[in-house]
Structure formats: C-alpha cells, structure tokens
Amino acid sequence: MFTERQQLINRYMGEIWNRKNCSVIYEVFSEDALIHSPMGEARGPRAVEQAHRQWHEAFPDIRVMLLDIFEMRDKVAVQWNARGTHKGPFLGIPPSNKPIICGGTSIYRLENEKIVEYWAYINLHHVIQQLQSEEPDYSAHLAPL
C-alpha cells in the first residue's frame, strides 16, 4: 500500500517514462524545484521536461520499472531499472540502434504535495559504454530486471 507521497511519485514515474506524458511534470514539480543529476543541475519543471525529452528522443521505447519505493520524513526514494533502444542522438553519440539496460535511484523531496528537490543517480558512464562498445556489458546495472 502506497502512501500519498509514494502514489504521487509512482504516478509521475509511470506517466513520464512509460506513457511519455510530459504534462504531469507541471502538476508535480514546484516552479523552483532544484534538480541534481549526472547531466547537471537545473531548476524548475521546464528543465525536467527538457531532460526527459532528451532521453525520450534518444530512447523512444524506454521503459522504466520501479523495484522499490521508500519514504522517510519529506523524502521518497525509488530504485528502478530501465531499458530501451538507442534510436536518436544522446550526449553527442549518434543513434546506434543498440539496446541499453541501466539502473538507478531517484530521491524526491516534497513540500505541500509538490516535488521541490530531486536527485537522480544513474551511472551514465555505463550507459555510454553500452552505446559505444561492440558487446555491451549489462552486468553493471544496479538491480536485476
């Protein structure tokens, strides 16, 4: 059974990743939300949408599966796995049509049922390695699929 905050994060992740519904970003993120990710720091829902669009354009079939969800005080943490096919440019790498599998952890800080801060932990080096190598090593993802 999810708490209200866990339901909000579960809905957000399902809508944005698996249904490609970017409008949900504007419903759940505060106007001045602070985002920390391996791709840089940014503020606000528009920055979140731009980051998601970059992933969606590079991996149009991306699917994310939530493995675990935890809540403590004002934060919700999610462990997830993702898979997709590299069909568009990503971080300067032209489309390769290669599959990727990766895992990560996202932590969301909420106030008044809005995300005000977000930390994304993903091993981008591992993603890039899969795109550039002849035979990618899928063993480095964080959790089994």
pLDDT tens digits for 48-58? 999 999 999 99
Whether the per-residue pLDDT at 144 is higher than 80: the answer is: no
Q: In which region does residue 44 sit, left (phi positive, over 0), alpha (psi from -120 to 50) or beta (all else)?
A: left
Confidence of residue 1 (pLDDT cuts 50, 70, 90): confident
Domain ranges of the chain: 4-140
d(CA 142, CA 15): 22
Check: CB of residue 112 under 8 Å from CB of residue 8: no
pLDDT one-digit tens code per residue, 67-114: 999 999 999 999 999 999 999 999 999 999 999 999 999 999 999 999
CB 22 within 8 A of CB 52: yes
Record: fold of 4-140: Nuclear Transport Factor 2; Chain: A, (3.10.450)
Q: What is the spatial distance between Cα 110 and Cα 99, in angstroms, rounded to a whole number?
A: 34
pLDDT at 143 over 60: no
